[in-house]
Amino acid sequence: MARIDELFRYLKDNKGSDLHLAAGLEPRIRVHGSLEAVRGWPVLPHGELLSLLRELVNDSQWEDYSDCGDLDFAYGLEGVARFRANFLRQENGCGAVFRIIPEDIVPLEALNLPKAIEALAHLQQGLVLVTGPTGSGKSTTLAAIIDMINRDTTRHVISIEDPIEFVYPHRRALINQREVGTHLRSTSTALRSMLRQDPDVLVVGEMRDLPTISFAVTAAETGHLVFGTVHTASADTTIDRIMNAFPAGARDQVRTMLADSLRAILCQHLIPRRDGGGRVLAAEVLINNEAVAHLLRKGKAYQIPAVVATAREAGMQAMDVELRRLVRDGVISAEEAYMRATSKKDFEQADLPPASVVKFPAGH
């Protein structure tokens, strides 16, 4: 048993989401968004921490980390959980971050997402994006959608993961999970072969570079259902991120492709509850319709928030509207909502209860 397993058990027992290790500091865990020191553990010098990390990986992985100063992998501790791991180098020596991956996939129905999200699992083709900042629950939401496909359909799902996080049990669907560095040499290699493997659903993971973004848009346009994640804070900035990845000369064509293939964007935040009892999900939902497609073709993504705000009957939901609702219901504080609001000015002018009034920062 690796000595670091004690920290993984501590993380789970204390309902943490992440374990942070850095040479020269005591171990810390993130609980409901805040970091706190692990009780009973001292400061870890570089040599001692390096020894703890070495126990988790094989010779090849350790060589990669030694050469590059960075390593991504997954680690499973039986009876506890799986962990998404990243080894790094920092100013004082080595470091690592571990994100806990629950053993059981939370059913989509239990995530308190807008009803429109359940329909995404039953789409036949198109592009669906789950977006939000780091730690906003994107992986959990995407896993829940794929789990619904697994439960309700007989389709073939292929995922490219770096590393594999949630492991899907054998149900009605056929799911092939492929890990970069373990089952395939690189993401680009996997992208070239995916369409030759008779897929119905493709999960491309984080869309961080042009090859992955281009593949996702093209595959969706050619009749596949494609899911991906993006580190963006709103639907319109997601569109901008995708468009800006392409050379200027290709963007008119991509706008047309996106207008035809995009099905939905779900943007989410996890926000601390006002009563200290964990975090609550706030979501923005964009469903592609004629109005949205028209704006995409014209390159007017900045007008999309206006469509989202006025199309609730179509299943859409604006982030700022949801944030104000959570404040009025006493679920989150106005300060937390304000930090995530898209339009600071509109938020300041919103009709909020007196108990939620705050002094907003100058200049907003």
Question: How far apart are alpha carbons 335 and 363 in whole angstroms?
Answer: 16
* Structural domain containing residue 247: 108-317
331 part of a folded domain: no
- The mean per-residue pLDDT over the stretch 297-323 comes to 93
Question: How far apart are alpha carbons 275 and 336 in whole angstroms?
Answer: 13
Last residue of one domain, picked from the residues 101, 127, 152? 101
- The mean per-residue pLDDT over the stretch 232-242 comes to 94
Pair 128, 226: CB distance under 8 Å: yes
- The mean per-residue pLDDT over the stretch 239-251 comes to 96
Q: How far is the first Cα of the chain from the last one, in angstroms, to the nearest whole number?
A: 53
Q: Look up the CATH number of the domain holding residue 189.
A: 3.40.50.300
Question: How far apart are alpha carbons 21 and 19 in whole angstroms?
Answer: 7
**Percent of the chain surpassing pLDDT 70:** 95
The residue type of 260 is D
Do 171 and 193 lie in a common domain? yes
Q: Look up the CATH number of the domain holding residue 80.
A: 3.30.450.90
Number of CB atoms found within 10 A of residue 187's CB: 22
Do 78 and 128 lie in a common domain? no
pLDDT at 182: 77
**pLDDT tens-digit map of 68-81:** 999 999 998 988 88
The answer for residues whose C-beta is within 8 angstroms of residue 75's C-beta and 6 or more apart is 56, 82, 83, 85, 98
Do 168 and 186 lie in a common domain? yes
Do 128 and 47 lie in a common domain? no
Do 79 and 189 lie in a common domain? no
pLDDT at 113: 92
pLDDT at 354: 56
Is residue 364 scored above 50 in pLDDT? no
335 part of a folded domain: no
Do 77 and 112 lie in a common domain? no
Do 163 and 283 lie in a common domain? yes
Do 148 and 259 lie in a common domain? yes
Is residue 359 scored above 60 in pLDDT? no
pLDDT at 1: 64
Last residue of one domain, picked from the residues 101, 118, 139? 101
Number of domains the chain is built from: 2
> What pTM, to 2 d.p., does this model score?
0.86
What one-character DSSP code corresponds to residue 303?
Answer: G
293 part of a folded domain: yes
Question: How far apart are alpha carbons 236 and 150 in whole angstroms?
Answer: 30
Is residue 183 scored above 90 in pLDDT? no
pLDDT at 10: 96
Question: How far apart are alpha carbons 58 and 313 in whole angstroms?
Answer: 53
Residue 19, helix vs strand vs coil: strand
346 part of a folded domain: no
Is residue 186 scored above 70 in pLDDT? yes
**pLDDT tens-digit map of 317-350:** 999 999 999 999 999 998 899 889 888 877 776 6
**pLDDT tens-digit map of 187-216:** 777 888 899 999 999 999 899 999 999 999
Which position has the higher pLDDT, 149 or 186?
Answer: 149
Band (pLDDT 50/70/90 cuts) for residue 356 is low
126 part of a folded domain: yes
**pLDDT tens-digit map of 312-326:** 999 999 999 999 999
Do 65 and 203 lie in a common domain? no
pLDDT at 351: 67
Mean pLDDT over each residue of the chain, to the nearest integer: 91
Do 268 and 120 lie in a common domain? yes
Do 284 and 175 lie in a common domain? yes
84 part of a folded domain: yes
33 part of a folded domain: yes
264 part of a folded domain: yes
Last residue of one domain, picked from the residues 79, 101, 123? 101
- The mean per-residue pLDDT over the stretch 77-103 comes to 92
Do 164 and 69 lie in a common domain? no
